[in-house]
Structure formats: structure tokens, C-alpha cells
Amino acid sequence: MAELFDNTTMVANVTDSVKPEVWWKYVQDNFYTAGYVITPMFLIFGLFGNILTILIMSSKVFSGMTSRYILIALAISDTTLLLTQPFNKLFVRKMIGYDVRAISDVGCKAFFHIFKTGKMTSSWLIVILCFERFIAVVFPFKAKAIITIKSIMALIILDYLFIGIFNAVWTFSSIVVDGVCKPDITYAHTKEKYRDYLIAGSSFYSLIPMIVMAIMTPVIVYRLLRQKKIRNRMSKGGGASAEKADADTLRISVMLIGVVVAYIAFVLPITVVHNLAFWKSVSVFDTNTLQFFLMREVAQILEQLNYAVNFVLYVLCSTKFRKRAMEILHIDGCIMKLAQRKSSSKNTSFTNLSGQKRKPGQSSCKDNENGHHSDTGASSEQADVEKPPLCCKT
């Protein structure tokens, strides 16, 4: 016990003796090391998923879906964010040797205009998708009149126009300072203006979309479950078509819930970080305190994950999407061969079990239901008609 106490005391003394600067540097280095792996991994996976989504939704298989235009636009906005977000990482700037965004004030403003537009349009495209599903589920008889290609395209264009104009004006605070492009530079005469745009931008980016989705999604899920019960009553629970409809209902419900939950969980932290940085008068993309550094790095990882995960939800929840993805990647043939090989191995094992040598006293497959063998003189067809054989139990 004395030895254990002495060791514990020694560890405590070593920990206490570590200077804050050393600990701060240790945490930074570990996050930067993790960033070298996480950032390119999410970037590659997200680009792969979004590009494949665009190709799948542009094919003839989904030509009858009005929502495919929303998913294509969503993939484009997500790709824009994935391509620009790494340049906000401090370790990327250190690795390159300079801030690529800070070539000029115009370049700095253009970068953050594209970056913010990709983020905010993505949020509202999910809202448009929820709206499209809301009309289709709650008002099924009016859906074809309301949800048309023209109306969906009009909403998408309006989204990009409004958000693009708003962010173009917001670039007044994006300025190059000491070789670094910063989005939140304010002076005495622009501080209140920046505060107003920050509140409005946070509302457009996350607060309002979250409220809208939180209202529409439960209604959609409730109506889908209600329609499922009605179908079960009408079909009395028995029929392949009813089971398929129930499975489709479940997949749609899971996809909607997954998209909304993922959006809230992955986007809310970065919104909190931006607003906290303003109220604490610190730069959101620079290293300040240990606590803020940890919050910012974790929030940026979650934000990047949000724009790379939608493809996974589509694959898990849509059989048609999954099948088309396998066709484009040319792996459908391999999967079919594996399934056939698996089925063939099962049949082979069953044949081997059926052909095993019988134990003494065990009845044959040719025995009739009375336990006697068929007459040897009778033809096989006659024996089958008069006394059909029982299957052997292996």
C-alpha cells in the first residue's frame, strides 16, 4: 500500500509539474495528427458519395422522381463545403506554408462567400426535401399538382439566389489580416452590423431549418405509420405487396429521421462555436484558448461528417438506389456470383446430407406411409400414384 501510494503521488506531482504551454502544445499536436487522417478521409469519402449520388440521380431509373433534383443540388452543395472546409484548418495552412485564402481581399471574400453559400443552401435543400415528402404523404391527392418539376426547380433556384445575395453582402467582414483570411473582422462602425448578420446567418443556416424539420418530420412519420396500419387492415396482414409496402414505409421513415437527426447533431455544434466566438471576441478559425480550440476542432469534424454521410443513408434506405450504385460501380455481377455460389454450396451440403448411408432400421425415402416398400413388380409411376413416398428426415 505504501508503494502504491508513493507511485500515485509521484504521478500526481509529474502531472502538476507540466506547464500549461506544454500541455496546450501536446493537445494541439494530437488534434493536428488526427486531422491529417480524418480530414482527407472524410473528403475522399464525401466526394465519392456525392459524385456517385449525382450520377445515380441523373440516370433514367430515377427520371420520374421530382425529388432527384433536390438530391442532386444537395450533393453539389455538400461537395462545395467539403472542398472548401479543409482550408479553414490551421494545420492545413501550416502544412502548405501560407493561407491560400489570403491571396487578396477579393479572394478572401470570394472564398467565404462560396463556403457559407454551400453550407446554408445545403440546409435549405433538406428543408425542401422535407417539404416535398410532407406534401406527398399528407396530401397525396394534391401532390402531383403541387410538387412538379417546375415548382421544385423554382424552390432550388430561389434557395441559391437568396442565400447567395445574403452572403455576398456579408463578405464586408472577410478581410486579410497579417497574411490570414479572416471572416469576422469588425471595427467600431461595423460591429453591430456584423452582429446582426451573424444572428441572421445562424438562423438561416441552422435555427430556422431545424425548427421547420422538427415540425414536418414527425408529421410525415406519423402519417406513414398510420397508412401502414390501414394497409394491414385492408390486406388482413397477408400478401407480399402489403409486406413490401410496409418495408418501403419503414425505410422512408428511417431515412427521414436519419437525415434530420444527423443534420441537428452535426451542424448545431459549429453554429454554437461561431456565436460563442463573437460573444467572446475571439477569432473563430484561430487558436485561442484550449477549451475553444477543442470545441472548434470537434465541431468542424462533425460538420465535415454531415456533408459526407448522406450517401450512406441513401444506400441503406433505398433498394433502387443501392442497385443502381452497384451497376455504376460494376460490382452487381460479383455480388450475384457470390449469392449463386452461396446458394450452390447450400444445395450441395443438403444433397450430401440426403445421400448419407442409412442406419439399420431406418426407413427409406421410397417407403410408403404404412412403412412398407413398394412392390418391385409395379412400375414407378403406379407406385407414386397409389402410395406417394414420404420424405426422409435427415
- pLDDT for 381 equals 42
Q: Would you state the pLDDT for residue 143? A: 85
* Closest to 306 measured CA to CA, from 280, 282, 271, 279: 271
- Tell me, what's the pLDDT at 1? 42
Confidence (pLDDT) at 355? 54
Is pLDDT at 51 greater than 90 in this prediction? yes
- Per-residue pLDDT for 240 more than 80? no
Query: What does the pLDDT read at residue 9?
Result: 44
| CATH no. of 24-334 | 1.20.1070.10
Alpha-carbon dihedral sign for residues 217, 220, 223, 225:
negative
**Which segment, 54-63, 235-244, 369-378, is predicted with the most confidence on average?**
54-63
> DSSP letter string over 234-284?
HHTT--HHHHHHHHHHHHHHHHHHHHHHHHHHHHHHHHHHHHHHHHTT--T
Residues 295-312 pLDDT 10s: 888 888 898 898 999 898
- For residue 104, give the C-alpha cell: 487578396
CA distance 245 to 248: 5
Reported as a single tens digit per residue, the pLDDT across 354-376 is 555 445 555 444 444 444 444 44
- pLDDT at residue 141 tops 60: yes
How is the chain split into domains, by residue range?
A: 24-334
pLDDT at 47: 95
Q: What is the mean pLDDT of residues 77-88?
A: 92
